[in-house]
């Protein structure tokens, strides 16, 4: 658990120091999320190890709660630093905005993802709150009610087909997952005993989103509203890149009875790189998560040979995905090996 705590809490501390002190700290924080993480993955050889599948990790949920609450503090701090009256230079404000977007997409997102899979109501609420502050609350419903059920098929907007570039995918996934999640939640909301309209999950998502954006605008005017939007949109792009990279081109077969084959290890891309995996609370061990969604993140398994492996860490692959011709050159032949 020490590695998870160190890898995830370091960017939290560095970003707060960047907001408070300025100077070289915004560059240090951005360097941590880019150069340092990639360098540790590539330069220090650490064998990916599996913990016992049924092991218990008492500190695992505590770390998620700390990181989840830290996200709320960081969001306020980042918007204030970018648009507030402090003495930060224009360059430092830009560096803080970019770093915050990366942290929210690469740390807050995996944390929220873990929380919405937890059985406790408080954990699920915190996960939904994190996504909603990023104006992406529907993802909490889309992930559970659409993605996990239909992954690797055309019914899942977040499973990209072979040959589809990231930008086309992002447009389809952004709109499609919102619509699919709204349909699924509305159907579930109306099932059984009638419930008050305000208890519909999308009321919560929308309310938190409006409150977050309005608070930024009320506190800092149009500059605050613009800074907030810029940061969360960049974070949303990181979230979409994560799904794109981890599911590109991998499809489930349709059986003779018309149903999809069960989700298996071959239906998600994984990354064995030790430090970025710790930073993303083992989200790159994606196959095992889809096969056992309730397994705590420290116990997720990695089995090379049965699970498709990415050639580079997930954040680096996400950067490559921004250049579709290069992405296809790197990935299409690898997809063919698992078709």
Are the CB atoms for 304 and 284 separated by under 8 Å?
no
- Return the H-helix or E-strand segment holding 293: none
pLDDT for position 179: 94
pLDDT for position 339: 78
The rounded distance, in Å, linking the Cα atoms of 51 and 60 is 13
The rounded distance, in Å, linking the Cα atoms of 314 and 317 is 5
- Tens of pLDDT, residue by residue over 110-144, are 999 999 999 889 999 999 999 999 999 999 999 99
pLDDT for position 6: 95
pLDDT for position 58: 73
pLDDT for position 336: 94
Write out residues in the chain with pLDDT < 70, as ranges.
45-47, 52, 54-56, 189-197
Residue 251's Cα: distance from chain center in Å? 21
Domain boundary assignment for the chain: 2-45+55-337
Are the CB atoms for 78 and 96 separated by under 8 Å?
yes
């Amino acid at each position: 658990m020490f590695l998870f705590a160190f890898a995830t809490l370091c960017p939290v501390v560095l970003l707060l120091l960047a907001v408070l002190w300025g100077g070289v700290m915004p560059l240090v924080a951005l360097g941590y999320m880019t150069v340092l993480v990639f360098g540790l993955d590539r330069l220090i050889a650490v064998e990916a190890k599996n913990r016992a599948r049924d092991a218990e990790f008492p500190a695992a949920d505590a770390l998620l709660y700390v990181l989840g609450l830290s996200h709320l503090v960081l969001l306020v701090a980042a918007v204030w630093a970018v648009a507030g009256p402090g003495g930060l230079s224009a360059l430092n404000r830009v560096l803080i905005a970019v770093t915050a977007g990366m942290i929210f997409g690469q740390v807050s997102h995996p944390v929220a993802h873990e929380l919405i899979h937890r059985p406790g109501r408080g954990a699920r609420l915190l996960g939904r709150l994190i996504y909603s502050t990023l104006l992406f609350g529907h993802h909490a419903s889309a992930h559970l009610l659409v993605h996990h059920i239909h992954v690797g098929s055309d019914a899942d907007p977040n499973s990209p087909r072979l040959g589809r570039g990231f930008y086309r995918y992002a447009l389809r996934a952004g709109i499609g997952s919102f619509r699919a999640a709204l349909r699924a939640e509305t159907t579930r909301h109306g099932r059984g005993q009638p419930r008050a309209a305000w208890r519909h999950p999308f009321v919560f998502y929308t309310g938190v989103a409006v409150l977050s954006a309005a608070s930024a605008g009320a506190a800092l005017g149009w500059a605050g509203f613009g800074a907030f939007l810029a940061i969360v949109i960049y974070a949303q792009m990181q979230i979409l890149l994560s799904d794109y990279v981890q599911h590109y081109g991998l499809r489930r077969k349709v059986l003779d009875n018309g149903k999809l084959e069960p989700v298996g290890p071959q239906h998600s891309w994984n990354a064995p790189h030790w430090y970025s995996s710790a930073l993303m609370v083992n989200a790159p061990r994606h196959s095992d998560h889809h096969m056992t969604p309730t397994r705590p993140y420290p116990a997720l398994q990695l089995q090379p040979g049965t699970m498709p492996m990415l050639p580079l860490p997930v954040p680096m692959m996400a950067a490559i995905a921004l250049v579709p011709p290069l992405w296809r050159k790197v990935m299409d032949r690898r997809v063919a090996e698992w078709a």
